[in-house]
Amino acid sequence: MKISIIGSGTVGYAVGKGFSEFGHDVLFCDVSEKRMGKLKEIGENAICENKVRDITFIAVPAPTKNDGTIELRYLTDALRDVGVQLREREDYPHIVIKSTILPHLLRGKLIPLLEETSRKKVSEDFGFCYNPEFLREKHAQEDFMHPDRIILGACDTRTAKTLEELYRPFDAPIYQVGLEEAAMAKYVANNFLSTKISYFNEMYLIAKEWGIDPDMVSTLVKADRRISEYGTVGGREFGGRCLPKDLNAFLHFSNKKNNPKILQAVKQVNDKMKDSKHRRDIEVD
């Protein structure tokens, strides 16, 4: 299968490298000449332009602005390039979004943009799928090759079957779901991790105030088989590229119709932990 990766950063490179391990012809695409130069140096097929192939994965950044809205310009720029190329295609390419995006934007903005620029129709002339990735930044390649589950939110059965076949070599259950469910699952998973970290940070602060050893408490709690070790060591806010931005974006999204008090508290605790008098020097995975 000929695959292109648009956006060849941490996620995009892990995805492309992973599929190349299974014998697929992978082309890395990115606007960064520096990044593409480094990939070429290590023998990867890389170009500084966006290219549509049999399957095109889009893994460009989708950062969150200060007001909680998502900065879509990287994604919309990529989709415009893809749409223009789709005009000339006589086959049935599959466009797969990896970038984290809110559920309502897929049918509300991204698909209409593709249809407008391509002058074609999704599920008639090309396939479309949302396929979220659950990677830790420091272990991206390992996590891609050994996923807990694979979620495919395809618009049509042809794309669903093609991607299921593509992922078949991976030892993980494959879930075929709707677009919105696939997108929502990514946010729910990441926000749960944020919630768990903030919960143990709050317990850490309470234990310290009462002269109780928070690390011993953590050790005793995570011995419960229902509670995994991740996020159980208090003393440090969650950071990185994903958890803070996804929490802020989802709060902005959910505040329109709901009052997500738990997630609001998660953010408050995390902001509090940024204070040097509360935090300690520990590594958060």
Q: What is the pLDDT of residues 229-250, one digit of tens each?
A: 999 999 999 988 899 999 999 9
Residues forming beta bridges with residue 127, ordered by sequence position: 94
Residues 6+ apart with CB under 8 A from 34: none
What are the tokens at 263? Answer: 């997630």
Confidence label for 285 from pLDDT (cuts 50, 70 and 90): low
- Give the number of other Cβ atoms within 10 Å of residue 65's Cβ: 12
CA–CA gap between residue 230 and residue 194 (Å, rounded): 10
Asked if 48 is an active-site residue, the reply is no
Fold designation for 2-177: Rossmann fold (3.40.50)
The pLDDT tens digits for 87-142 are 999 999 999 999 999 999 999 999 999 999 999 999 999 999 999 999 998 999 99
Domain boundaries in the chain?
2-177, 185-273
Q: Which one from 29, 129, 155, 242 is the annotated catalytic residue?
A: 242
Q: Is the pTM of this model over 0.75?
A: yes
CA–CA gap between residue 8 and residue 108 (Å, rounded): 26
Looking at domain 185-273, its CATH class is mainly alpha
The pLDDT tens digits for 149-191 are 999 999 999 999 999 999 999 999 999 999 999 999 999 999 9
What is the DSSP track for 141-171? Answer: HHHHHS-S-EEEEESSHHHHHHHHHHHTTSS
